[in-house]
C-alpha cells in the first residue's frame, strides 16, 4: 500500500523523474493496481499478483473505491443528486454511485467504475472544478493514517479480508 502524493505519475516510465517506478523497490517487482492521476493522491495498491490485479481491475466486478473530494466552490443538493445518479460527458454516462456531503465544498464518493479522471470529468460536466481528490479506500482496504509518500506491506488480515471481498463478488 502506498499513499501516493500529488505529482507522482502512476505510469512506470524509467525516463520520467515523476514516475512511480522510482519509488518502488527493485525486488520484488511491483505494479500499481489501477491508477490515480498525477493530480490526485491517496491509496494506491501495489502488487505482483496478477490474479489479484485482474479481480480488482476488471469492470465486471464493480469493486468499491472511496474518495474524498474538494471542489472550488460550494455546491447544492442538486449537484449531489446529479453526481449520484450518474453524469454524462463526452460519449459516456457514468454508473450511479453513492455520494455524501462532508462540507459546503467537500464530498465523499464511492465508485464502482474506474474511468479515466472520472470524478474530475463528472464534476466538470456539472460546472465544478476539483481542487483536491484523495482515494481513502479500496473495498475493505483503508488508507488510514499512512502519511503521504509512505509505503507499507498489507497485514495478513488486510490481505485475507481483501481477497475474501473479491471472492464474494465474483
Least confident of 21-35, 98-112, 137-151: 21-35
Question: Catalytic amino acids?
Answer: 37
Q: What was the pLDDT predicted at 166? A: 67
17, 100 Cβ separation under 8 angstroms: no
Cell of 164: 475474501
Kindly list the distances between the CA atom of residue 26 and the CA atoms of 14, 16, 21, 23, 157, in Å, as whole numbers in the listed order.
12, 17, 9, 9, 25
When pLDDT is cut at 50, 70 and 90, the band that residue 169 belongs to is low
The domains located in the chain, with CATH, are: 60-137 (3.30.2350.10)
Torsion of CA 166, 98, 114, 96, to 10 degrees: 110
Is pLDDT at 115 greater than 90 in this prediction? no
Is pLDDT at 56 greater than 80 in this prediction? no
Which residues on adjacent β-strands are paired with residue 82?
Answer: none
Q: What was the pLDDT predicted at 58? A: 67
Residue carrying C-alpha cell 453513492? 98
Q: What is the pLDDT of residues 63-107, one digit of tens each?
A: 899 999 999 999 999 999 999 999 999 999 999 999 999 999 999
Q: What was the pLDDT predicted at 170? A: 46
d(CA 34, CA 53): 8
When pLDDT is cut at 50, 70 and 90, the band that residue 147 belongs to is very high
Amino acid at each position: 500500500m502506498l499513499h501516493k502524493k500529488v505529482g507522482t505519475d502512476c505510469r512506470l516510465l524509467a525516463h520520467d523523474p515523476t514516475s512511480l517506478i522510482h519509488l518502488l523497490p527493485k525486488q520484488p517487482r511491483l505494479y500499481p493496481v489501477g491508477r490515480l492521476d498525477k493530480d490526485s493522491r491517496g491509496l494506491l495498491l501495489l502488487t505482483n499478483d496478477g490474479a489479484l490485479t485482474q479481480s480488482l481491475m476488471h469492470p465486471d466486478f464493480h469493486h468499491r473505491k472511496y474518495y474524498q473530494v474538494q471542489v472550488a466552490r460550494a455546491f447544492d443538493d442538486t449537484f449531489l443528486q446529479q453526481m449520484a445518479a450518474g453524469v454524462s460527458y463526452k460519449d459516456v454516462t457514468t454508473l450511479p454511485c453513492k455520494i455524501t456531503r462532508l462540507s459546503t465544498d467537500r464530498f465523499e464518493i464511492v465508485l464502482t467504475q474506474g474511468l479515466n479522471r472520472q470524478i474530475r470529468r463528472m464534476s466538470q460536466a456539472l460546472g465544478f472544478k476539483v481542487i483536491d481528490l484523495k482515494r481513502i479506500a479500496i473495498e475493505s482496504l483503508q488508507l488510514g493514517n499512512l502519511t503521504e509518500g509512505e509505503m507499507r506491506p498489507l497485514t495478513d488480515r488486510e490481505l485475507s479480508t481483501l481477497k475474501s471481498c473479491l471472492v464474494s463478488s465474483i
